[in-house]
Amino acid sequence: MGDSVNRISRIAGAVLGTAALTVALAACGGDSLEGSKKGDGGSGGSAGGASTKDKGSLVVGAAAFTEAKVLAELYAQSLEAAGYSVSITTVKNRELYEPSLEKGEIDVVPEYAATIAEFLNAKVNGPKAPEEKPVASGDATATVEALRKLAEPRGLKVLAVGDAVDQNAFAVTKEFAEKNKLKTLSDLGRAKLKVKIAAGDECAVRPFCAPGLKKAYGIEVTGIDPKGVGTPQAKQAVKDGVDQLVLTTTTDATIDAYGLVFLTDDKKLQNADNVLPVVNAKDAGSPDIAAALDRLTKVLTTADLAELNRKVDAERAKPEDVAKAYLVEKGLVDK
């Protein structure tokens, strides 16, 4: 799994539910990273590029898992193309990087709408707020609106949200899907099929996993095979027919290699963890910065993000290289 394990751990945090939020709130930020402050050049190097840098300097925050590195490079190179001097810096977790973003030590961070919304909900309204009065839902528009209400008083500006989303997802074998005419989780519920889920053992009691599947879709879960979230072992168990359903993430680019297909979460059981930039309003709130990042956000899809992750994890390509190739391909930066 490599660095993608840290990305998966963010999703596992969502599965763990709000009871574990004091731990899960660090999600999306990766772990075991060393922070560095604005002005030290960052620990991730610059984004590279040959644009004229006359609009000032910016620091993009990144975590150490693959997807965060890729997104940071996409943001940084988009901003360099718009005329900014950009460095990328890594920060240990959200408890550290979110205050740094408020202070302006970091200017821009790639975020996940539902996760950052509930993080700020807990920070503003207390640790029990995400459980007792959650602000995130499966509706991306409503989640981002709630996020903005929490972020703006803290000096943060939430930019436009796009279609790219990294959230819990369930997959079955192509053969199982075709045999039972399954395209959605609703189809699985209607088929009255008994399924065993390859997931973390917490799946048995967490609202976004087995209980949610039963409540929202009427899916009969006979048990949990505790092989982890999106691990090779979990996917192999479904491929082999030991289990019927695997919990992974929407940007898992390896499911096809195991002969698996996603079932659409058509009732939006999962919270909307769509990717979007959050910036320091004072230092990075300009229309030029928003425009540069919005161009990328409008183009980036979940499938694109999964493929970029795959190139880094499976082909050992460098995040900066796959980001540059993607931006050039989409006409967002010059060669």
Closest to 109 measured CA to CA, from 277, 290, 273, 282:
277
User: Stretch 82-92: mean pLDDT, rounded?
Assistant: 92
Same domain? For 42 and 120 the reply is yes
Statement to judge: residues 111 and 208 lie in one domain: no
Instruction: Let me know whether 161 and 172 are in one domain.
Output: no
Q: What is the model's pLDDT at position 225?
A: 97
Pairing of strands 168-173, 260-263: antiparallel
pLDDT in tens, 181-222: 999 999 999 999 999 999 999 999 989 999 999 999 999 999
194 three-class SS? strand
Q: Are residues 119 and 241 in the same domain?
A: no
Q: 334 lies in a domain? A: no
Residues 147 and 38 in one domain: yes
pLDDT of 232 > 50? The answer is: yes
How many folded domains does the chain comprise? 2
Q: For residue 169, what pLDDT is reported? A: 97
* Residues 6+ positions from 143 with CB-CB distance below 8 Å: 113, 114, 117, 135, 136, 137, 271, 272, 274
CATH number at residue 305: 3.40.190.10
User: Is 241 in a helix, a strand, or coil?
Assistant: coil
Looking at the fold, whether 322 and 227 belong to one and the same domain comes out as no
Residue 218, in any domain of the structure: yes
Q: Check: CB of residue 235 under 8 Å from CB of residue 258.
A: yes
Mean pLDDT of 63-77: 92
- By the 10 Å C-beta count (0-12 exposed, 13-18 middle, 19+ buried), 320 is classed as buried
Whole-model pTM: value is 0.82
Question: Does the pLDDT value for residue 153 go beyond 50?
Answer: yes
Contact 193, 244 (CB under 8 A): yes
CB-CB contact of 53 with 84 (8 Å)? yes
CA-CA distance, 213 to 224, in Å (whole number)?
13
d(C-alpha 264, C-alpha 260), whole Å: 13
Range of the domain at 208: 168-263
Residue 62's pLDDT is what?
Answer: 85
Q: Is residue 229 a part of any domain in this protein?
A: yes
The answer on pLDDT for 32 being more than 60 is no
Is residue 150 one of the residues assigned to a domain?
yes
Q: Are residues 137 and 28 in the same domain?
A: yes
**Measured distance CA(245)–CA(263) in Å, rounded:** 10
Domain boundary among 263, 280, 313: 263
Residues 209 and 182 occupy one common structural domain: yes
Domain boundary (263, 282, 301) is at 263
Q: What pLDDT shows up at residue 11?
A: 44
Q: What is the pLDDT of residue 53?
A: 55
Residue pair 232/252 in contact (Cβ under 8 Å)? The answer is no
Mean pLDDT computed over 247-273: 96
Most confident of 47-51, 202-206, 233-237, 254-258: 233-237
138 plus 180 within the same structural domain: no
Choose between 33 and 208: higher pLDDT.
Answer: 208
Shared domain for 26 and 85, answered yes or no, is yes
* pLDDT interval class at 297 (50, 70, 90): very high
Pairing of strands 57-62, 220-226: unpaired
pLDDT at 317: 96
Domain assignment present for residue 241? The answer is: yes
322, 308 Cβ separation under 8 angstroms: yes
Backbone angles phi, psi at 273, to 5 degrees: -95, 55
Beta bridge partners of 109: 278
| CATH number of the structural domain spanning residue 247 | 3.40.190.120
* Counts of helices then strands in the chain (DSSP H, E): 15, 10
Question: Given a cut of 70, is residue 48 above it in pLDDT?
Answer: no
pLDDT digits (tens, 9 = 90+) for 97-106: 899 999 999 9
Question: Is 335 part of any domain?
Answer: no
pLDDT at 9 over 80: no
Do 178 and 157 share a domain, yes or no? no
What digits encode the pLDDT tens for the residues 317-331? 999 999 999 999 999
* Final residue of a structural domain among 209, 242, 263: 263
173 and 295 belong to one structural domain: no
